[in-house]
Amino acid sequence: MDLFTLPDFDGHEQVVFGHDRATGLRAIIAIHSTALGPAAGGCRMWAYPSSDEALTDALRLSRGMSYKNAMAELAFGGGKAVILGDARAHKTPALLQAFGRLVDALGGRYITAEDVGTTTADMQQVAGQTRFVSGLARASGEVGGDPGPKTALGVFLGIRSAVRFQMGRSLEGLTVAVQGLGGVGHPLCRLLAADGARLKVADARPELLAQVREELDATAVAVDGILEEEADVLAPCALGAVLNERSIPRLRVRVVAGAANNQLAREGDGEALMKAGILYAPDYVINAGGIINVAHEYYGGSSEAAVRAAIEKIPERLTLIFERARRESLPTSAVADQMARERLRAGRAG
């Protein structure tokens, strides 16, 4: 395998392979860009079938973080770490500490945080070895901690702006189908319900589904039916690649706007949505509330009000994308990528 000719290699600045014999740590850290600041992005722990697949994920996700951080106007570049292994079976404090030493050896070029397979508590272990970590447990009143509710706030505001753009109205009385009721989906449902939206919800965990149905008078939908449900808005808040050649022709909504990362299975799916007359809020723009929270925690000296003010810029940014997409007859996903690349280029030149 030749790293520099892999399809997902995008001029990444640095890729580090880390191994620790004592704990069995096998990790890859990909630094896509530091043009706008230290490369920031979470640490994913996953039982990858091979190190090639782990490398592909690190390359792809780190580029995604460059775009996300650039569009959120943060002083962060893009990076991502992956630890190879089953989080339930192989994650130990010693392994996380070894990962912390690997991060520390990069001297601040990469800042880590929680992601799929790691938690706020795990980052506490990492923090024992390096200061280049964010997303730590916080005492109440301090900025930082669980990014889920902040991501939910940004997604909620983004849904409102997408509905305003596409339908010229508020959310009152509209129906939103929410796929996934976890750390983001559940607080998102609360915000939507408080704003007068009706909810159709699905989750693979029946206890979460029952809780949201009772708390918010939501209609429960089967997991395999939520993408085809008739509604005004679909908010994917569970998995990636849910928008694909199979699902797009079956969608019965006018707006897709949710938290999940990498919602489009392929680049061409953005065009398919546009042709179907569905307004798509690019995932990494609408779901930036969590990384905004992480940035404010990392740089310190901030307040909840400042975090909120930064998250409140997400709808303005989306509206800019929607307008440019309409003007240039381009998919919103392509416009977001263009804008992110423009910002990275300006950062490199500056």
Residues in touch with ligand NAD (CB under 6 A): 147-148, 151, 179-185, 202-205, 208, 223, 237-239, 259-261, 287, 290
5: its two tokens: 């000719």
130: its two tokens: 């390096």
CB of 332 to ligand NAD, least distance (A): 18
Of residues 36 and 61, the one with the C-beta less far from ligand NAD: 61
Give the residue from 295, 38, 312 showing the smallest Cα distance to 143.
Answer: 295
CB of 327 to ligand NAD, least distance (A): 28
Give φ, ψ of 203 to 5 degrees. Answer: -155, 150
Q: Please state whether beta strands 279-280 and 25-33 pair in parallel, antiparallel, or not at all (unpaired).
A: unpaired
CB of 92 to ligand NAD, least distance (A): 22
Of the CA atoms within 13 Å of residue 169, those in its CB half-sphere come to: 12
The SS3 call for residue 350 is coil
- In angstroms, rounded to a whole number, what is the distance separating the alpha carbons of residues 20 and 102? 9
User: Given 68, 80, 150, 200, which residue is catalytic?
Assistant: 80
CB of 346 to ligand NAD, least distance (A): 25
Separate counts of helices (H) and strands (E) for the chain: 13, 12
Q: Is 313 a catalytic residue?
A: no
Of residues 192 and 260, the one with the C-beta less far from ligand NAD: 260
Of residues 131 and 205, the one with the C-beta less far from ligand NAD: 205
- Cβ neighbours around 167 below 10 Å, total: 15
Eight-state DSSP code of residue 288: T
Of residues 261 and 302, the one with the C-beta less far from ligand NAD: 261
CB of 316 to ligand NAD, least distance (A): 19
The SS3 call for residue 177 is strand
Of residues 185 and 270, the one with the C-beta less far from ligand NAD: 185
281: its two tokens: 């809020």
**Catalytic positions, written as ranges:** 80
